Amino acid sequence: MAKPAKRDLMSDAPYGEYGRTATMIATPEGVILPFINASFGERLGALMIDFLIMAAIPIVVLIVWVILPLEHFSDDHKAASSILQVVSLAAWFFARSGYFMFFEMGPKAATPGKRALKLRVVAHDGGRLTPAAVFTRNALREVELYIPLGVILQTSAGMGNSWVSLAALLWALALVLLPLFNKQHARLGDFLAGTRVIHIPKASLSYDLADLDGDAHLGLTFTPDQLAYGEMELQVLEQVLRERKPAVMRAVADKIKARINWQAPKNSADMPSDEAFLRAYYGALRAWLEGKMLMGKRRKDKHDAALT
Amino acid sequence: MAENPDRNAPKPALQLKSQKFREARQGDWRLLNAQLEKAERDGLKSFSIDELLNLPVLYRSAMSSLSMAQSISLDRNLITYLQTLCARAYVNIYGPQTRLKEVLAGFFVRAWPRSFRSLGLELILAFVLFFGGAVLGWLLCAQDPTWYGFFMPGEYRSVDSSVAELKETLGGNTEDQALSPFAVFLMGHNTQVAIMAFAFGIMFGLPSVALLILNGIPLGAMLWLFHSKGLGLEFAAWLSIHGTTELFAIIIAGACGLHIGRRLIFPGDQPRRDSLMDAGRLTGTVMIGVAAMLTVAGCLEGFGRQLITESWIRFAIGGAMLTLWLSYFFFVGRERKHG
């Protein structure tokens, strides 16, 4: 995946979340959609939840075994007890090898742990997520985690070579930390299967902040010279206005007023509140920038040349 | 900027272009959002035919809205919302295929045998390595029987066992249940071995080579033991009923590991990352089939070996399975040659 060229500010802060990277995936319709990469912490968290669930399977089996009076049962019902054993063995086998594959091949393409953290698996090339890819990415867990862990446990139990164990530890550590060293936070299995784990946040359509009519009634107008900011600042301002924290709005309003040399009205009763001022400024700045955008002129941030 | 030329108009239409755009389209977006929530909650089965037909239309319209919004609007909330909406719609529409019948047919008729055939030389190499291990095990034991104890520590069928004891281990377990827990355990174990042989390919395939040889050696050693007690034929029959399927599966898994190793070391014209991805897809397909083969082997082992005790029937079943697999792999899913 080539590093996304700086198309516009949206791709630097996918879904409005700064500090996260996105994987650009071309859909079959030819639209390039940015998907937020799951962060290392999210992936680790999902794995922990899944491990807890997997650990619960044998524990439940054990509890059932202890609670039910099975000492005599196995003598009385040979066939039934054998079926029970088969079921418990199959449960254990499922827990180790099949759990991830079963859930990721399903329609949600995510294990319960991933689902809890709003993660899901997608194919990197934009096509369907195939069962083969899911199999591959999960089979690689053996090499990444299970086998090295097995070796280490064996050594700590007194068997095996401590050098081998050290090598296994380093190997597992390197592979577990691999997602930290690539932009898309993919692990080895993802590379081999051509999959990525993405984060899909829930977003809601809020109201539109620009209210030109209301602003006009307030009588707040700005000259193009006063609209001395770019798209980046506009979006920060939008965030400030949506969060509506009085202290922040005061600080931002003061800063803008100082920068644009704003003349406060003489009559203190006409003095707009910070929020009203910021909203008016937001509306004016957005109208100005969008108008220029339609002509193909953009100003990324305040350090860019002013639009004329 | 924000001057209103006509303050007395009853419904002033002072709006940005992006606001008009939003007003015209947001009904569709909200509808798509509701449909997606429904699909995520109840699945596509709960949709009526009209709703189903409408879904791709809504999806494409949202996609085009997104492209449009990115070039005319600076409302970040709007763009974020559209991106999320499109991403959710995309994963719902291009998520894993849910029609089981199609998936199965596509897999068994085309994907699996074709992927198998494209392994080619690696299959032969894995075969040679595995049976090379077996020959090695036989030869070493034949030279010095103490090797047997070395290869098979803790095995109850040892060099000191009498012919009668050995023969008993080959007999059917008439008293035991057909599907014994032991068979399930073995199946799990074999699947684990197969997954390991495959996944170790990522370490340049070397551990896969070792694993193939190491799994071949005990086979050779046991063959030698039974042969030296004059039970070679019976043992081969006992083994063949499920072994032709099971060992074949393990060899294929090893070949997958070798394939990954080769594509990792020699990526050819592709970047290494793409080469790995191709190899992963190909071998992943083959490995799902291997899991199916191991299930068949487990059933043969659990039911067949316990119930059928005649050597020649065991041979016949083993041979039939082998023929079946080979003809399946070599003839099913060939692309028709034109002209």
Domain membership of residue B109 (yes or no) is yes
pLDDT at A224: 82
Least confident range from A83-97, B255-269, B275-289: namely A83-97
Note whether B86 and B143 are same-domain residues. Answer: no
- The answer to whether the Cβ–Cβ distance between A205 and B285 falls below 8 Å is no
What confidence tens digit (pLDDT) does each residue in A35-82 have? 888 888 899 999 999 989 888 877 887 787 777 765 555 555 566 666
State the ipTM, two decimals: 0.77
Domain boundary among B58, B93, B128: B93
Q: A216 to chain B: which residues are within 8 Å by CB? A: 2-4, 7, 14
The single residue listed with the structure tokens 């009634």 is A217
Domain membership of residue B205 (yes or no) is yes
* Residue B30 near chain A (CB below 8 Å): yes
Domain boundary among A199, A233, A248: A199
Note whether A189 and A160 are same-domain residues. Answer: yes
Note whether A277 and A170 are same-domain residues. Answer: no
Domain membership of residue B10 (yes or no) is no
Domain membership of residue A252 (yes or no) is yes
* Residue B321 near chain A (CB below 8 Å): no
Note whether A155 and A242 are same-domain residues. Answer: no
Mean of pLDDT values over B234-262: 89
Q: Above 90 in pLDDT, residue B17? A: no
Domain membership of residue A48 (yes or no) is yes
Domain count, chain A: 2
Q: Pick B18's closest partner by Cβ from A28, A198, A290.
A: A290
Note whether A154 and A71 are same-domain residues. Answer: yes
Least confident range from A102-106, B176-180, B198-202, B311-315: namely B176-180
pLDDT at B58: 92
pLDDT at B2: 45
Domain boundary among B39, B74, B93: B93
Interface of A with B in 99-158 (CB under 8 A): 104-109, 120, 122-124, 126-137, 139-140, 142-143, 147
Q: Above 80 in pLDDT, residue B201? A: yes
Note whether B25 and B157 are same-domain residues. Answer: no
Note whether A87 and A29 are same-domain residues. Answer: yes
Note whether A122 and A16 are same-domain residues. Answer: yes
Q: Pick B77's closest partner by Cβ from A93, A200, A242.
A: A242
Beta strand pairing call for A22-26 and A119-123: unpaired
Note whether B82 and B207 are same-domain residues. Answer: no
- Mean residue pLDDT of chain B comes to 82
- Burial of B14 (C-beta count, 10 Å sphere; 0-12/13-18/19+): buried
What confidence tens digit (pLDDT) does each residue in A90-149 have? 666 667 768 888 888 877 888 999 999 989 898 888 778 888 888 888 888 877 888 788
Note whether B262 and B322 are same-domain residues. Answer: yes
Note whether B69 and B122 are same-domain residues. Answer: no
Given a contact cutoff of 8 angstroms between Cβ atoms, the answer to whether A135 and A101 are in contact is yes
Note whether B206 and B72 are same-domain residues. Answer: no
Note whether A81 and A174 are same-domain residues. Answer: yes
Domain containing A259 equals 212-294
Angstroms from A229 CA to nearest CA on chain B:
13
Note whether A38 and A184 are same-domain residues. Answer: yes
pLDDT at B9: 46
Domain boundary among A199, A222, A244: A199
Note whether A40 and A147 are same-domain residues. Answer: yes
Domain membership of residue A233 (yes or no) is yes
Q: A126 to chain B: which residues are within 8 Å by CB? A: 94
Domain boundary among A170, A199, A228: A199
Interface of B with A in 80-99 (CB under 8 A): 80-81, 83-88, 90-91, 94-98
* Residue A277 near chain B (CB below 8 Å): no
Rounded (10°) CA dihedral A145, A150, A156, A158: -160
Domain membership of residue B245 (yes or no) is yes
Note whether B121 and B76 are same-domain residues. Answer: no
Note whether A83 and A149 are same-domain residues. Answer: yes
pLDDT at B29: 92
Query: How many angstroms separate the CA atoms of B33 and B55, rounded?
Result: 10
Q: Pick B202's closest partner by Cβ from A85, A140, A208.
A: A140
Domain membership of residue A304 (yes or no) is no
Note whether B169 and B262 are same-domain residues. Answer: yes
Q: b vs e for B274-286, b when ≥16 Cβ sit within 10 Å of the residue's Cβ?
A: ebbbbbbbbbbbb
Domain containing B21 equals 17-93
Query: How many angstroms separate the CA atoms of B322 and A8, rounded?
Result: 60
- The answer to whether the Cβ–Cβ distance between B2 and A8 falls below 8 Å is no
DSSP letter assigned to residue A304:
S
Note whether B129 and B214 are same-domain residues. Answer: yes
Note whether B205 and B317 are same-domain residues. Answer: yes
Note whether B140 and B272 are same-domain residues. Answer: yes
DSSP code per residue over A138-192: HHHHIIIIIHHHHHHHHHHTT-S-HHHHHHHHHHHHHHHHGGGGSTT---HHHHH
What confidence tens digit (pLDDT) does each residue in B301-338 have? 777 766 777 788 888 888 999 999 999 998 887 876 55
Domain membership of residue A308 (yes or no) is no
Q: B26 to chain A: which residues are within 8 Å by CB? A: 205
Mean of pLDDT values over B255-259: 93
Domain count, chain B: 2
Note whether A161 and A232 are same-domain residues. Answer: no
DSSP letter assigned to residue B43:
-
Domain membership of residue B184 (yes or no) is yes
Interface of B with A in 235-294 (CB under 8 A): 260, 273, 276-277, 279-281, 283-285, 287-288
Note whether A267 and A168 are same-domain residues. Answer: no
pLDDT at B124: 93
pLDDT at A6: 42
Task: Name the phi and psi angles at B70, rounded to 5.
Answer: -65, -20
pLDDT at A4: 43
